[in-house]
Amino acid sequence: MNPGSGTLIINIMSEGKAETYEGVYQCTARNERGAAISNNIVVRPSRSPLWTKEKLEPIILQNGQHLVLSCRPPIGLPPPIIFWMDNSFQRLPQSERVSQGLNGDLYFSNVLPEDTREDYICYARFNHTQTIQQKQPISVKVISVDELNDTIAADLSDTEFYAKPSRERPPTFLTPEGNSSNKEELRGNVLSLECIAEGLPTPIIHWIKEDGTLPINRTFYKNFRKTLQIIHVSEADSGKYQCIAKNALGVIHHTISVTVKAAPYWIVAPRNLVLSPGEDGSLICRPNGNPKPKISWLTNGVPIEIAPDDPSRKIDGDTIIFSNVQERSSAVYQCNASNEYGYLLANAFVNVLAEPPRILTSADTLYQVIANRPALLDCAFFGSPLPTIEWFKGAKGSALREDIYVLHENGTLEIPVAQKDSTGTYTCVARNKLGVAKNEVQLEIKDPTRIIKQPEYAVVQRGGTVSFECKVKHDHTLIPTVMWLKDNGELPDDGRFTVDKDHLVVADVGDDDGGTYTCVANTSLDSVSASAVLSVVAPTPTPAPIYDVPNPPFDLELTNHLDKSVQLSWTPGDDNNSPITKFIIEYEDSMHEAGLWHHQTEVSGIQTTAQLNLSPFVNYSFRVVAVNSIGRSVPSQVSEHYLTKAAEPDKNPTTVEGLGSEPDNLVITWKPLNGFESNGPGLQYKVSWRQKDGDDEWTSVVVANVSKYIVSGTPTFVPYLIKVQALNDVGFAPEPAVVTGHSGEDLPMVAPGNVHVNVVNSTLAEVHWDPVPLKSIRGHLQGYRIYYWKAQNLSKRSKRHIEKKILTFQGSKTHGMLPGLEPFSHYRVNVRVVNGKGEGPASPDKVFNTPEGVPSAPSSLKIVNPTLDSLTLEWEPPGHPNGILTEYTLKYQPINSTHELGPLVDLKIPANKTRWTLKNLNFSTRYKFYFYAQTAAGSGSQITEEGVTTVDEAGILPPDVGAGKAMASRQVDIATQGWFIGLMCAVALLILILLIVCFIRRNKGGKYPVKEKEDAHADPEIQPMKEDDGTFGEYSDAEDHKPLKKGSRTPSDRTVKKEDSDDSLVDYGEGVNGQFNEDGSFIGQYSGKKEKEPAEGNESSEAPSPVNAMNSFV
């Protein structure tokens, strides 16, 4: 038995003889609530016994006598299909005179000399075992009276023994015997009644039902009306049926009394019950049948008479009544209804539950409906006892009633015609004695989409421009799409067609642009359309006359009547200001296709006669249609009829093919000629065939006007030469072309061998196999089919459902690629050869493993717990590791205020970690992180994230920040503020003006009092301006650097070094003696005299200090 299911599999091919498993099987499914049982399943092995050997004497009889050839096939399981054929495996022709009975015997109402043959062979085909058994051939010889008398005269001399000629005789029934018989049939089956009579001439069979009529749609006649079949019989078909055999010499009757019996069938089948404790209920089991079925009850598969007693139940015939049930009353009940023709078995559970209501519809579901259309609001529920459902609208609305709304049993609320005021919140309330459940849904009513300005019919001259307008009004919350169609198809891909919001414009209109243009407006809820016709006419002078289609031609006349041609003449009607360009001549064949008009030919608009070529054996009539640039006229009046003479067919059927539908037949098909092509009465086909690779003569048969002939008993998949020739009462068509076909295919016998797999990479493998011998394919080689599936992932062993994938490689390829494999996985693969019949057996499964691949990106990466100098990263492993993770790689770099990236730090993290804390980061700095996983195959895709360390806006030093530290965030903010930049620009402008003034005064050469005082009291520590260029001189370095005093902007020695003006506070903040406070203030004034570290370049991502910037300008 399959694990996890109730399916029982018996492999008879490998587990012993089939007879071992013969018997009756029944399945029982059981859990703590009860047990259910299945119907009985009868398993019987199929049998196809051999025909008993017997010696059959030749049958010699006189012309006109009747004959019955018995078949009596061996009894098989299931019964065989009987048919009669000759030594060439050709079915014996049957007719009203010769036919096969339901019992397989071959009946001759009267024999003729052509019935003489030595190979009447009865075949029995056992479909289940795919075998055919053959009876010994029967020899039949039909001789005339003279031949029979010659034979008697050779043996006897007394003339009173001489045979007399068979005279005509009235009918006599061969089967059934007597004047009446009885027949029983089961309801729902096919009723088959048979009457076969002998007589000379051959009798004709008719059927009637006494005191009734035969059902029209269910009655069929088979075997030349000798068999009456009624499908899906019911009790109403019982009664007396009469078959009547009649020929010129008499009439006989046989009455068959039909009784329709019935295996049990359901009128009311028991249905599952869900009850709550204390409730009442009932199970009803009401079958019918003929004879009336007997009912028996079971509980959990045990007859209820011996089952444990339950005081809550009472059996009343076909009903079990439950009163005041308790939870222990839960069980599965079986009702068995049986009579001599069969039985019914139904399982129904009684589940005693105490469950408060539950609403299964999703909460806050939004329904959108177009106004004036129905709205259906769902409220699926469950509970025991069965809850009652009420609907409310709005927060304090009353219960919705049936006068406006429709409340369905499944809880659905229907608003038959939703209006705008139907919009709102609807609440579904489910109640039973154990509780209440509620659920709210939203309903929105949308305005319907309308085309308020529709395109209009237009007539445009060639070369002109036409515009169709289509203005759409729609609900403002819906987005419409407007599409234009021409003749229900897409617009031509032509630059002359321009579509804007409300218009379609066609420029330089041509004749092909005429047609129907449709504007279609769609939204997600509805769709509307409107159409207009464009007619293109020739340019006309102004004022333009009225254009119209021509008037129809008239006065049609046929002359020059020949076997295969006739001349038609007519008089044109008015062209209505648009010249007639052509005349279309149509014909009707009232003999074969009355009422259907066909195109005969076309002539130019200046002709009024036409010589028409005709086909044989057609009753022609003609009509003429005039055409101008506007369109077609109505057809003219019909001409007189002209019947052409019959002739032999001038063509053969087309599309001749030979394909087998079974392994032992050849189905020859063709496209038959129509009545018009038959050229005469009595259309038939001569079908011929022979094996292509043999020396056999052509085998031919003439069949009626059909399109298929089946050659039985052919070897499997053998090429045949085929030809089909048409003929009628006049003669044969030309010799047909020979085509090649094949008899039926069978499934391949051999699986591909030497299957092996080469793994190319982690997602691609190549499969190789040896080709299957052509003889074992037994059909057209379609290709090879590879089945492959992932048995398990090497990194995690899951028990999920195995999904097999299939790849088909056409032709005789012996290798194929398997793409899209999952890395680091365990795969199985097999190969099968495919022909037109199907697949052959599978090769043994080959197992292969894909190597590790690079992993996918981590499923997530987030930054938590940011502090002043640290960030914590948390992540989830890759969804597809594609191997064994070896480590994670984390790369990060700071981002400054101008979005420039700083140096990149590379960090390796063990594979078993999902959290990591980075310390000693810059304060108030944004960092960008790049994170990816690695396997032995390499690095996977990365995931990125950004995070920022925090800053204390109040400027209060946290306990762990030492004296002298300062954060750069406020300095960065000041340096980028507009007011600060403006101030710096103003200072620079003042200095520039001062330099210009000094330069001008120097060039004048005068000395001013101030200058004299400066010369007299020169400060030795201040370098004068250079006399030659008027610029400031070089400043000398002090011996040591003193710290700034509080509020000071220049060094105490009144000198400004060039290097100092280029430095930022980074010189003080990031070195060994860093002295920055959290609010960004410079606190060197409190820390005593310290030696400044040499500058190592601007390595910080912070902006320059505004204090030093001021020093640079002052």
Give tens-digit pLDDT for 956-978: 334 343 333 333 333 345 555 67
Contact 1055, 1020 (CB under 8 A): no
Q: Report CA torsion sign: 1011, 1015, 1017, 1021.
A: positive
The residue assigned the tokens 């950004």 is: 946
pLDDT at 17 over 90: no
Cite the beta strand spans of 386-493 per DSSP E. Answer: 388-393, 406-407, 413-415, 424-432, 435-446, 450-453, 458-461, 466-469, 471-473, 481-486, 489-490
3-state secondary structure of 572: coil
The reported pLDDT for the residue numbered 1106 is: 38
Which H or E run contains 1068? helix 1066-1069
**Share of residues in the chain with pLDDT > 90 (%):** 54
Residue 155: pLDDT band (50, 70, 90) is: low
- Which of 204-218, 351-365, 596-610, 1071-1085 comes out lowest in average pLDDT? 1071-1085
Contact 685, 653 (CB under 8 A): yes
3-state secondary structure of 230: strand
Residues whose CB is less than 8 angstroms from the CB of residue 862 and which lie 6 or more positions away in sequence, other chains included: 873, 874, 875, 945
Nearest to 103 by CA among 65, 68, 56: 68
Longest dimension (CA), the chain: 190
Token pair, residue 946, equals 């950004």
pLDDT, mean of residues 462-488: 91
Residue 566: pLDDT band (50, 70, 90) is: very high
pLDDT at 784 over 60: yes
- Which of 364-368, 396-400, 646-650, 908-912 comes out lowest in average pLDDT? 396-400
The CA-atom distances, in angstroms, between 155 and each of 142, 149, 150, 548, 665 are 19, 10, 9, 97, 48
The reported pLDDT for the residue numbered 403 is: 75
pLDDT, mean of residues 848-875: 92
Q: What is the pLDDT of residues 1045-1098, one digit of tens each?
A: 333 333 334 333 333 334 333 333 333 343 334 333 333 333 333 333 333 333
Residue 877: pLDDT band (50, 70, 90) is: very high
Q: Quick one: CA torsion of 633, 638, 642, 646, rounded to 10 degrees?
A: 70
Q: How many residues does the chain have?
A: 1114
- CB burial of 211-233 (b: ≥16 within 10 Å; e: otherwise) equals eeeeeeeebeeebbebbbbbeeb
Cite the beta strand spans of 293-396 per DSSP E. Answer: 294-299, 302-303, 313-316, 319-322, 331-339, 342-352, 355-359, 365-370, 375-377, 381-384, 388-393
Residue 865 CA, chain-centre distance (Å), reads 50
Nearest to 33 by CA among 345, 271, 273, 269: 273
3-state secondary structure of 1060: helix
Token pair, residue 256, equals 């068959």
The reported pLDDT for the residue numbered 1082 is: 35
Q: What is the pLDDT of residues 814-833, one digit of tens each?
A: 999 999 898 999 999 999 99
pLDDT at 159 over 70: no
The CA distance from 66 to 851, in Å, is 82
Which residue has better confidence, 549 or 43? 549
Residue 606 CA, chain-centre distance (Å), reads 56
Q: Which of 158-162, 315-319, 928-932 has the highest mean pLDDT?
A: 928-932
The CA distance from 835 to 540, in Å, is 67
The reported pLDDT for the residue numbered 292 is: 92
Sequence letter at residue 674: N
The CA distance from 112 to 141, in Å, is 10
The reported pLDDT for the residue numbered 690 is: 93
Q: What is the pLDDT of residues 721-748, one digit of tens each?
A: 999 999 999 999 999 999 999 999 999 9
The CA distance from 492 to 483, in Å, is 13
Contact 657, 668 (CB under 8 A): yes
In 245-304, alpha helices (H): none
The CA distance from 480 to 721, in Å, is 62
The reported pLDDT for the residue numbered 727 is: 94
Residue 978 — φ and ψ, nearest 5°?
-65, -40
Q: Which residues sit opposite 366 in a β-bridge?
A: 442
Which residue has better confidence, 934 or 1102? 934
Which residue has better confidence, 436 or 403? 436
The reported pLDDT for the residue numbered 1104 is: 40
Q: What is the pLDDT of residues 494-543, one digit of tens each?
A: 889 999 888 999 999 999 999 999 999 999 999 999 999 999 998 866 66
- Strand ordering across the sheet containing 846-849: 805-810, 781-793, 825-835, 846-849
- Which of 254-258, 825-829, 831-835, 1014-1018 comes out lowest in average pLDDT? 1014-1018
pLDDT, mean of residues 270-295: 90
pLDDT, mean of residues 686-705: 91
The reported pLDDT for the residue numbered 978 is: 72
The reported pLDDT for the residue numbered 1086 is: 35
Report the mean per-residue pLDDT for the chain: 83
Sequence letter at residue 1076: F
**Share of residues in the chain with pLDDT > 70 (%):** 84
Q: Other CB atoms closer than 10 Å to residue 578's CB: what's the count?
A: 19
The reported pLDDT for the residue numbered 183 is: 93
Q: What is the pLDDT of residues 342-399, one digit of tens each?
A: 989 999 988 888 889 999 999 889 999 999 999 999 999 988 888 999 999 887 777 8
pLDDT at 902 over 90: no
The CA distance from 1035 to 1049, in Å, is 17
- Which of 127-131, 320-324, 598-602 comes out lowest in average pLDDT? 127-131
The reported pLDDT for the residue numbered 972 is: 43
The reported pLDDT for the residue numbered 1081 is: 36
Q: Report CA torsion sign: 302, 304, 306, 311.
A: positive
Q: Other CB atoms closer than 10 Å to residue 513's CB: what's the count?
A: 21
The reported pLDDT for the residue numbered 1058 is: 38
Residue 36: pLDDT band (50, 70, 90) is: confident
The reported pLDDT for the residue numbered 856 is: 92
Strands 138-143 and 59-62: parallel
From first CA to last CA, the distance across the chain in angstroms is 98
Contact 199, 249 (CB under 8 A): yes
Residue 584: pLDDT band (50, 70, 90) is: very high
pLDDT at 553 over 90: yes
Nearest to 633 by CA among 577, 571, 568, 584: 584
The reported pLDDT for the residue numbered 163 is: 54
The reported pLDDT for the residue numbered 621 is: 95
Q: What is the pLDDT of residues 1027-1045, one digit of tens each?
A: 344 333 333 343 333 333 3
The reported pLDDT for the residue numbered 151 is: 64
pLDDT at 174 over 70: yes
Q: What is the pLDDT of residues 998-1009, one digit of tens each?
A: 888 877 654 444
pLDDT at 441 over 50: yes
Q: What is the pLDDT of residues 656-695, one digit of tens each?
A: 999 999 999 999 999 999 888 889 999 999 999 999 988 8
The reported pLDDT for the residue numbered 486 is: 92
Token pair, residue 43, equals 């398993």
Token pair, residue 524, equals 């997600």
Token pair, residue 688, equals 């011929």
The CA-atom distances, in angstroms, between 1074 and each of 524, 963, 982, 1060, 1071 are 66, 9, 30, 16, 5
Sequence letter at residue 1042: K
pLDDT at 897 over 50: yes
Contact 873, 888 (CB under 8 A): no
pTM over 0.75: no
Nearest to 451 by CA among 480, 490, 416: 480
